[in-house]
């Protein structure tokens, strides 16, 4: 299933995209795509519905983040061997973990705001993993049983804030609008191999990232298991799994986003995003 949330910010309703591309309302069956609604058993109930009987949503409403009530936005750094190489970094012996503030989460096509004082706002297309049930001390073999599905995440990064202002990476990752998520939550039954998904990103129509989850150092199952050893993962938590090469800081000379730019990105089977870049006021 392709599950989504639509409507004005803070007032999104749950929906579903049927096989014909028609948006249908799910609010008669779940209050939101969050919490218990993301449990794999509940998702199986939704899949069993007669979709033709669900109300059609008219028009072209705004799409919100595909998951509601996210408690943790956990990100993995330098998780693509070719991306680590372009930034001059070594592949880490264990995953680099950092957090992105949940206040950064926005819809897939909402404007991307350049924060005040920013000189190095950068792009990163990533595979997002959405947790469906509480995971604590789970093995790699059973890890995917705790996954609700997958989505596109744009892990926007301000590199000066991230690497030149000292301390940890979080402040360069957490600015408002730095976490576009969606358009859809694609349930895991429709993604048989999360380690074989082409992904791409364009700036002003130019393809700058063209990679695949094949080159991830630490795969989805490993990451879910690994993180669950340190913290319980809760329904609605998002793991953003790293980016392939082609980010602005890796270019020669480096290149960063500016007001007026347009960014488009996607992951095969998971949909695409499009953001207009403007300066935060």
pLDDT band at 81 (very low <50, low <70, confident <90, very high): confident
Whether residue 32 is found in the same domain as residue 78: no
Q: Are 221 and 90 in contact (CB under 8 A)?
A: no
pTM of the entire predicted model? 0.96
Which DSSP category does 165 fall into? S
pLDDT band at 119 (very low <50, low <70, confident <90, very high): very high
pLDDT band at 92 (very low <50, low <70, confident <90, very high): confident
Whether residue 13 is found in the same domain as residue 122: no
Looking at residue 180, which CATH number applies to its domain?
Answer: 3.90.850.10
Whether residue 97 is found in the same domain as residue 217: yes
Secondary structure (3-state) at 27: coil
Which DSSP category does 36 fall into? G
Whether residue 35 is found in the same domain as residue 148: no
Structural domain harbouring 194: 73-279
What pLDDT score does 62 carry?
98
Whether residue 18 is found in the same domain as residue 147: no
Whether residue 122 is found in the same domain as residue 180: yes
Q: Give percent of the chain with pLDDT exceeding 90.
A: 89
pLDDT in tens, 261-278: 999 999 999 999 999 999
Whether residue 229 is found in the same domain as residue 146: yes
DSSP per residue, 187-228: EGGG-S-TTS-EEEEEETTEEEEEEEGGGBSS-HHHHHHHHH
For the residues 15-27, what does the mean pLDDT come to? 96
Secondary structure (3-state) at 234: coil
Whether residue 130 is found in the same domain as residue 180: yes
pLDDT band at 85 (very low <50, low <70, confident <90, very high): confident
| CB-based burial, 82-119: b 16+ in 10 Å, e otherwise | ebbebeeeeeeeebbbbebebebbbbbbbebbbbeebe
For the residues 50-78, what does the mean pLDDT come to? 95
What are phi and psi for residue 189, nearest 5 degrees? -65, -20
pLDDT in tens, 193-251: 999 999 999 999 999 999 999 999 999 999 999 999 999 999 999 999 999 999 999 99
> Does residue 133 carry a pLDDT above 90?
yes
For the residues 37-51, what does the mean pLDDT come to? 94
Number of domains, the chain: 2
Could you tell me which residues come within 8 angstroms of residue 76 by beta carbon, excluding any fewer than 6 positions away?
95, 96, 97, 218, 223, 239, 240, 241, 242
What CA–CA distance (Å, rounded) separates 178 from 158? Answer: 9
């Amino acid at each position: 299933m392709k599950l989504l949330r639509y409507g004005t910010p803070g007032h999104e309703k749950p929906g579903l995209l049927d096989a014909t591309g028609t948006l249908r309302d799910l609010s008669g069956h779940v209050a939101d795509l969050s919490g218990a609604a993301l449990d794999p058993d509940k998702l199986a109930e939704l899949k069993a519905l007669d979709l033709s009987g669900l109300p059609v949503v008219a028009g072209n409403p705004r799409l919100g983040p595909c998951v509601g009530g996210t408690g943790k936005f956990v990100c993995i750094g330098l998780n693509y061997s070719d991306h680590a190489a372009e930034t001059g970094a070594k592949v880490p012996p264990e995953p680099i973990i950092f957090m992105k503030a949940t206040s950064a989460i926005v819809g897939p096509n909402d404007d991307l705001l350049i924060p005040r004082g920013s000189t190095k706002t950068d792009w990163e297309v990533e595979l997002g993993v959405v947790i469906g049930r509480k995971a604590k001390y789970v093995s790699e073999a059973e890890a995917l049983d705790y996954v609700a599905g997958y989505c596109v995440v744009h892990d926007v990064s301000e590199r000066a804030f991230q690497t030149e202002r000292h301390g940890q990476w979080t402040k360069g990752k957490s600015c408002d609008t730095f976490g576009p998520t969606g358009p859809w939550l694609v349930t895991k039954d429709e993604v048989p191999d999360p380690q074989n998904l082409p992904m791409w990103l364009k700036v002003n129509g130019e393809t700058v990232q063209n990679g695949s989850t094949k080159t991830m150092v630490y795969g989805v199952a490993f990451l879910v298991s690994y993180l669950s050893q340190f913290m319980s993962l809760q329904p609605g938590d998002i793991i953003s799994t790293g980016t392939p090469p082609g980010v602005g800081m890796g270019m020669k000379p480096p290149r960063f986003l500016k007001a007026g730019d347009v960014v488009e990105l996607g992951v095969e089977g998971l949909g695409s995003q499009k953001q207009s870049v403007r300066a935060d006021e």
